[in-house]
A and B are shown apart, each in its own frame.
Chain A
């Protein structure tokens, strides 16, 4: 099975996971999120490290189904400025379809498909990634405040013009406050991609970000469910 077919199969699986319990749950709520983030992007190609960074804006719509499942559609974009004169500025844009299953009050399974593009005046590179992971929520004493610890594995990564990386991992730590209708979150994440190749010529990429977002419950239908705001 090639990567594209696997990704499409994953998309179908995520949608099925998100939509299957709709009839059983009988209650859905729609959530919207706005976020701003600082992104640092580093890539080493042919022995040269090219760092760039910038501010990324994003938005998301999420559908919480019952108390167990959620599906999110997300979009982000921004400009990453090169840190040195030799480097090139890049525009980054990405969309993501993610599903979540709340296995325990403190544990959420996550899966999704992410499509990201890096554009320079000379070329555009597209990344398509299948993400699988989990997020643990650590309750803190303050009312509605939780710590977040996230780990993800990208078993399928398709990069235009490149072989798939040997290592594709992500991890994050954050904190979140949930109110009756609004939640606010700060999340630091690091994505690491190591491509195959000799030690000196090996292509390495890394994306670190600190995102701050606010989520608002927009609408609720069906019987009254949990007042908590889902975590994307």
Chain B
């Protein structure tokens, strides 16, 4: 018994998938009947589609199309008020709904125009994924008001308080707006999510409406190079001698003086009682003075000029390398392209 139920379930599954196709076929038949002015059959089919009891799945787009044709059919049947109601329902679902003049009669078009006058709605067409070069191309937004209105279109990064106005003024119908990808400060818009906010006030009935469009923006450019880090101390030569070096000068001077004084005592023959101690003392005084002078000089000038010059050259080379990297990065950033895509909201 359970096997029979399973088979029945599997056989029934495609029926649900085919339901949408069935709605599309019904709409096709309705459109065909509308072209042949077979209004009764058309109305019957369309009522079946828009009925809450319809056994088939009906998408929002199909429902809007059904409302449009149902409104037109009712206008043809002489039920203009009912037709206008269906037209308004179609417009409220999709403000971009239009009647093609080559497919509909002037009476239908007039009724549809009346519906647009009675219904105030704002719309913005979703962006399609695209890549633009902001130096030569523009991102196009299409906004719409169903009838004459004071319209304001602004752009901002999600989370930002600053709005970039794209349009402010009267509008009636669709309007294309172009954005060069720059913010108010003249800089390229950073990557992230953006919100296009459309607000308006009807000139006919003073009613207000708004519409939002979210889209994502990414930068596309060649990979940037990292700048080289600042030279570490181990990469630089010591620029100053340690303080002990000054004392060593003193020791060297006194060491030489001691050697001079010891020569007559050690190398000289004691039996001769000579060795020129006065001469040795003279040169000992000179080398001692040189040691003291070296000590003072070293205390006052601890820098190592050769090392200072080498370090300066290394720093200059590093700075030049980083400047070249930054310049290369700037050139790559200047060729940045904007990758635009639809987004669901302010964030995931």
- Seen from chain A, the residues whose Cβ lies within 8 Å of a Cβ on chain B are 38, 40, 42, 44, 49, 51, 138, 140-142, 145, 147, 149, 169, 171-175, 186-188, 190, 192, 194, 204, 206, 208-210
Contacts and interface: CB of A to CB of B under 8 A. Distances in A.
Contact of B287 (A40, A49, A147, A204): A147
B275 to A, nearest CB: 6
B271 A141 contact: no
Contacts of A40: 274, 276, 279
- The 8 A-B pairs with the shortest beta carbon distances in the complex, nearest first, are A208-B276, A141-B294, A188-B283, A173-B260, A210-B279, A42-B274, A147-B256, A141-B298
B78 interface: no
Main secondary structure of the interface of B (DSSP, over half): helix
A42 B256 contact: no
Contacts of A149: 256, 259
Query: Interface extent on B, as a size class?
Result: 20 to 34
Interface string B242-260: 0001100100110010011
B264 interface: yes
A204 B273 CA distance: 11
Contact of A206 (B253, B274, B282): B274
Contacts of A171: 263, 267
A142 B276 contact: no
Most A CB contacts (10 A, CB to CB) among B253, B274, B297 go to B274
A186 B282 CA distance: 10
Contact of B264 (A138, A141, A169, A208): A208
B118 interface: no
Nearest to A41: B274
A173 B294 contact: no
Most chain-B Cβ atoms within 10 A of its Cβ — which of A147, A149, A186?
A: A147
Contacts of B252: 138, 140, 147
B276 A190 contact: yes
Given A145-B294, A210-B279, A192 B253 contact: no
